[in-house]
Chain A
């Protein structure tokens, strides 16, 4: 009887199994699998009416996406803190253990840009780092419940979107990462003044464990909506979801 919560590696195992399925089937498979712990609790030992409970929870999560988009204030700022309040050491968090972060060679690196954007020059790291620089000391809040104050520097993401001629009417911006992590955010959040394409952390080049060569810092969303090791950015209208979102984390996850 699977009454224990899934093993910490369950997402990895399930993801590998799901890799062989086509996209819609995979989404369903992962949702159902992620809900198994729930089902056994509701139905004792039998997985009886689980799928309808999962469907109801899916519907509520979609409803919560809409409520949060409505609640989101494009000009409402996350609180900024003093340098003396910075959390050191800053916690490491990923879907793998410390040491598993990808190694990205900065030399030949160019950021891939795709979707509803105009022609763009090759975005090498030097060119990206030459964008007007902004800085923030904000609180990173993890869905697990912990939080930490960090210092991030980089380009205002809306600046970058303007440089690549991104269609501001597109609905989503998707981020693909060197560790195969994926997440996507709404255009309103992408254009928020504090949403930052980050190249420096705590006064130094963004370290490997914290997202080298670049991460997206979104102080108006939970930590898992702040992708690290970004290698491709895509602007479009098609909903692309994300890694944790596939297992059931709420997509919008706004703060």
Chain B
């Protein structure tokens, strides 16, 4: 008997990415872009890095404009992030897609990926490297929001700021979390362009 007989037509198969994941993904992409670019403009007012970030990568034009974007988009980022986290936890998607992660599997998949032997035949299953990166960027996003709150409200949320090692250190944590997210994005966008089907799946679901 041919397997084609029991194969379910594509449009009836469950989506690789449910609607909630796709919508929150693209809202997050927008909010994150605004937060990173306006954040880099704020950074330039008193740089942590030895050089200023080029203006082309910043948003807001000057410190005041940048803070206006940053303090507006933070609500979009946090609100959308909460919906995404709640959905991921309640639906069991995080558990199904991201766990388990073992160091052995990560190393094996990393070896395969670097030697070009890691396949992407089934987009609905993440390999160990993907799991690690996706879980990592969720944690980096959480850290960015928490350290951001610690900088924004070091008196009202004094406990959080103390947890981050006081104001100046919280600012470093905030910058490091951003840097981790940007590093993830470089890999993430490169991979999406290398495997265009994955980009399509994040738009139409499959």
> Could you tell me which A residues sit within 8 Å of B by CB distance?
3-6, 10, 34-41, 56-57, 60-61, 64, 71-73, 76-79, 139, 141-147, 219-220, 244, 247-250, 254-255
Contacts and interface: CB of A to CB of B under 8 A. Distances in A.
B118 to A, nearest CB: 38
Interface in B86-135: none
B155 A78 contact: yes
Given A36-B61, A76-B158, A5 B55 contact: yes
Given A72-B156, A76-B158, A220-B155, A139 B62 contact: no
A248 B153 contact: no
A131 to B, nearest CB: 24
B69 interface: yes
Interface residues of B, number: 31
Interface string B62-83: 1111011101100100000000
Contacts of B72: 56-57, 60-61, 64
Contacts of A145: 42-43, 45-46, 171
B55 A250 contact: no
A34 B71 contact: no
B137 interface: no
Interface of B: 41-43, 45-46, 55-56, 58-65, 67-69, 71-72, 75, 153-156, 158, 162, 166-168, 171
A39 B45 CA distance: 20
Given A57-B68, A60-B75, A64-B71, A38 B154 contact: no
A4 B55 contact: yes
B61 A5 contact: yes
A76 B127 CA distance: 48
B153 to A, nearest CB: 6
Given A3-B56, A71-B153, A71-B156, A144 B62 contact: no
17 contacts: A3-B56, A5-B41, A5-B61, A34-B65, A35-B61, A38-B68, A57-B69, A60-B75, A61-B72, A77-B155, A143-B45, A143-B63, A144-B45, A220-B155, A248-B65, A254-B156, A255-B155
Nearest to B61: A37
A73 B168 CA distance: 23
A220 B152 CA distance: 11
A211 to B, nearest CB: 21
B153 A255 contact: yes
Contact of B46 (A37, A56, A146): A146
A60 B71 contact: yes
